Structure 1
Amino acid sequence: MAEIAIIDYQMGNLRSVQKGFERVGHHAVVTSDPAEIAQASRVVLPGVGAFGDAITELRRRDLVSVIRDIVARGTPMLGICLGLQMLFDVGYEGGEFEGLGILAGKCVRFHLPAEFKVPHMGWNRSHIVRPNALLSDIADNSYFYYVHSYYVVPTDANVIAVQADYGHPFCAMIAKGQLFATQFHPEKSQATGLKLLQNFAEIPVLQGSA
């Protein structure tokens, strides 16, 4: 059984995420096998690309129900970038697409004054709204690395763990139970991002959740 399974659906920065875990001393397996993913102790849903294409690939590979089951039974899961956005009900990138529906809310495009370039790309100060295990020993207002044109708007503001500001405040991280997801890329965020990956790799697994 894999300790950490990184879901491969041909839409993620997979090797960078895997190397991030390796750098903090944890083995992670890149896999598209639903059975291997379902049996992992911890699961990562990365993502780079378009919302609609990503959801289509997850469905084609029979991974949607696997992801929903993982979250429902409390297995620790970490979404990254597009992996955060797809957790919600709907995304509006190039149309309207049904998401995983694990969290209520939507994913929308930045509409900002001309001085703000879209995509939002680079380092941004990130404010901790609600501390959690993933943020252990990470200072408030730390900088993380972002590359995105869309951001999530949760129906329940209580799931927002971190906010950043780009023209206006936006959700940079969610946390609910053992489900965590970041808009920023921890694997590209140097020592602070690696600390977050380490925290995820070492978060306690609830008995019977994997």
Structure 2
Amino acid sequence: MLFFSCASENQQKGLGLVSDLYGAKTSYTKGFKINNGKKATIFTVKVGQSKALDTLPWPTASSNIALMIYENFSDEERENFTNIAVEKDEKEEDRRETQYFELGRLADAMEQANVFKKFSDYLMKENYEAIVDDVDSRYKNAQTLPNLKAYMNGLIAKHGKITGYNRMEYGILTPNSGGDKLFKYLGYLKFSDQSIWPYSVTASMDLSNKDILGYRLD
């Protein structure tokens, strides 16, 4: 069931950021549904006419859209809604499954997204020592720092300085070797020659662990 309510300033900001990042038209609805006697209050984001979203996996792109909306919610809004839904607002034959995200999981993903942000900020500052310091000791050795420096110096020599970055996707990674599931954040670096470069960072789902548990720069 839908109910009418104007978007708050925070909600409008989140919708605007989604529109800018993906080059998408955005709209929203607010509503609730009752299942087995439990009421879910849902903020639904509708996105459409986006070439960027047409090239990205829908589950991880929609996850990031929900996270962007949640990041801009006020504390009160985080209390008032139980879920954020993301819907591809296209022609019926092109419509993709609506994805639903619980706010509790989004809160955890927002917390650990700081690992991605720190990594990205260090890349922009060319502070590779700080990156390696933050990598879990199980996943680094004596060659980690020189390899990272050499790789990034090669990119910068070819494309110029890093001018910015964007987080485009996030999801939950299940390691092939088993073990704990991880948050995985994916984005791209922007260089001064206008080129972009994909990269990803993995972080623990244990909020007390702020280490980098993996990264890829290709």
Same fold (TM over 0.5): no
Which protein is bigger by CA-based radius of gyration?
2
User: Higher helix proportion, which one?
Assistant: 2
| TM-score relative to the length of structure 2 | 0.27
